[in-house]
Amino acid sequence: MSVMSLASAGDAHYRLVAEAEPETNSLLRVLEPFVIHDVVPTRVDVACLGSGADAVLCIDIRFGADAPLAARLAARLETMVTVRTCRLTDMSAAMDTAA
C-alpha cells in the first residue's frame, strides 16, 4: 500500500477548477489522477449548477504539489471526455500575502 501525504513544506499550493458533465461518475474520474500521483487534496468543493442541458458540475480542488506535477494533473483533466473546462491557478503568492 502506498503512503499518501499532504503537501510538503516546499510544495506550492494550487487551485484546480474543473467544469464537468453532471454525470454520476464525473467526480470520481476527476479525482482519480490525484490518487494515481499520491496527492491528497487539502480541500474539495463540488456544486451542480443549472439544470437540464445547461447543468454543469463545478469541482474546485485545492492541493499542494511541485509545479510539474500540478501541470500534469491539469493536463490529465483537460483530456477527459467528461471535463468541459479546467483551470489551474498557483495560490502560493496569495497564501504568502495572507500570512
Q: Per-residue pLDDT tens for 5-16? A: 455 556 899 999
C-alpha cell read off for 89: 491557478
Domain boundaries, the chain: 12-91
Q: Give residue 31's identity as a one-letter amino acid code.
A: L
pLDDT digits over 58-90, tens only? 999 999 999 999 999 999 999 999 999 999 999
- Lookup: cell for 43: 480541500
Prediction pTM value: 0.83
CATH of domain 12-91: 3.30.70.260
Q: Give me 82's grid cell.
A: 467528461
